[in-house]
Amino acid sequence: MQQNGGQMVERIVSESGKSRGEVEQLIKAKKSKLSGLLTDDGAAFMVARELGIELATQQEMHRVSIGQLQDGMQNIDLLVRVMHVFSPKSFERNGTKGTLCNMIIADDSGETRLTLWHNDVKKMQEAGVQKGSVLMLHNCYAKSFNNKPQLNLSYNGSMVVDPKNVDCRTLPNAEERQSKLSELRAEMNEVATIVRVLRLFPVTEFEKESGKGRVMNFLVADESATIRATAWNDLVDAAEQLQENDLVKFEGAYTKEGLQGIELHLGWRARILANPKTDAVIPSAMQLMQDKTESRRISELDAATKFVALQAAVVAVNQGQLRYSVCAKCGSKMQRAETGMQCEKCGSIEQDIRAVLSVRLDDGSSQVNAVAYGQSAEKLMGLQKEQLRELIESIGPEQIIRQLQDRLVGKQVRAFGSAKENTFSNELEFVVRSLEFA
């Protein structure tokens, strides 16, 4: 029932009327066009389909178990349970970018590794595949790695997640215990938890023996605790896509004792799953910050003050440009280059703006300049970014600030953020992470 590469070519030759040389040239051209991302069989399937030839009908597929897998098997179906999902990886080969994702799957005969490629990775993410999911796999092929057969989903294969009316009783269990952050202890492995993102820190690069590494820190919380999380290397790509207040699930994480308590680390076995399917109700980032953040008076602030809440009145709106340039693709700062403004991170020249507003706050104990950026600045102004852009072009920043003076002075706000010393004025200022009007 299986078709090897030679059989595929023969069928294309016989059903298309083309010579063997012409067919082989078409397959070679297809592989070259996709820069080596296709196997010979995958290219043959694509050529056949373009010629109106169906190489593998449903009748030619056949169900096997993991224990029956052998190198070179093709057109096979399997029913499996997901035991672990690794984080997707991006790569570039011969100038063409691609994505792959590995997972460990099992049935009652054993377990193996399954690799998904390109669009199938996106479909897997959209379907919310996670540990414990059942997969009905159609049109896979087996290929040995380290003398063990592993599965790949063919380019024209399909995957049904948690299929209905299918008997899954023979599949092994993949029980996952989701932990609350307050339950975490040092040296735990395979941690799964659902949390809310509170704060994101910039990516840092470092040198190691095997090359350059990347690390990114962020604060996460649930209703039980707030904790520092760290994404390493490949996981940084997923962490960079997060935004404050996102609900995420971590799988395969581990814990360590840090300087400020237990830390959650996301290494090569981990995965970040955005907007997970869950019945749990986790408060918004704002609500969590309100519940967990210490309140301070302005007179109690110093440059070492980290993440506190201020309750104060706006007594002035400070002069400023109300926006600065950022990269339209990745949101990083733009810097001047010989050809004009360029992103310091990705090199793009496409620009966007980010709102910024400085106000003077007074709580009766003292005063401080508070600076809000992005969505916090937009909320304080009462303007969305595009509205701000149009107003700046029509009446300019100075006129907008006069209007904001009339609107904001005397308003009470509750601001969440950290204090720092301004490098230009050497005065203490408060950097707002989020705020609400009292």
> What's residue 256's pLDDT?
93
Residue 145, token pair as written in the block: 């790695």
Residue whose token pair is 């992005």:
374
Helix (H, G, I), strand (E, B) or coil at 201: coil
Task: Kindly give, in sequence order, each residue whose CB lies less than 8 Å from that of residue 337, ignoring residues fewer than 6 positions away.
Answer: none
* pLDDT the model gives residue 116: 92
User: Cα dist. 436→60, 287, 375, 399, 432 in Å?
Assistant: 62, 11, 12, 24, 11
Pairing verdict, β 62-63 and 76-85: parallel
Look at residue 391 and give its three-state secondary structure: helix
Instruction: Determine the Cα–Cα distance for residues 25 and 13; give it in Å rounded to an integer.
Output: 12
Residue 81 tokens, joined = 């349970």
Query: Does residue 359 come out as left (phi exceeding 0), alpha (psi in the -120 to 50 range) or beta?
Result: beta
Query: Residue 55 in contact with residue 93, Cβ under 8 Å?
Result: no
Q: Which secondary structure element, helix H or strand E, spans residue 49, and what is its range?
A: helix 40-50
pLDDT confidence of residue 175 = 76
Taking the chain (438 residues) in consecutive chunks of 10 residues, what is each chunk's mean pLDDT?
62 86 87 64 77 59 83 89 89 82 94 91 87 90 89 85 88 87 93 92 83 90 91 91 91 90 92 85 81 89 88 96 85 76 79 93 97 92 94 95 96 92 91 87
Q: Give the residue ranges of DSSP H helices in 284-384.
A: 285-292, 374-381
Q: Which domains does the chain have, with CATH numbers?
A: 5-55 (no CATH), 59-161 (2.40.50.140), 181-283 (2.40.50.140), 293-437 (2.40.50.140)
How confident is the model at residue 40, as a pLDDT?
A: 73
Question: How distant, in Å, are the alpha carbons of 63, 134, 273 from that of 80?
Answer: 11, 6, 21
Q: What is the pLDDT of residue 1?
A: 37
Six-digit token pair at 327?
Answer: 């990269």
Distance CA 3, CA 72 (A): 10
Q: Which amino acid is at 69?
A: L
Q: How far apart are CA 16 and CA 53, in angstroms?
A: 8
CA 189 to chain centre: 21
**pLDDT tens digit string along 50-65?**
887 766 544 445 678 9
Residue 210 in tokens: 């095997």
Q: What is the dihedral of CA 408, 411, 416, 421, to 10 degrees?
A: 60
Q: What is the reported pLDDT for 57? A: 44
Task: Indicate the angle between helix axes 385-394 and 396-408, nearest 10 degrees.
Answer: 120
CA distance 361 to 357: 13
What pLDDT shows up at residue 28? 86
Enter the tokens of residue 71.
């190198």
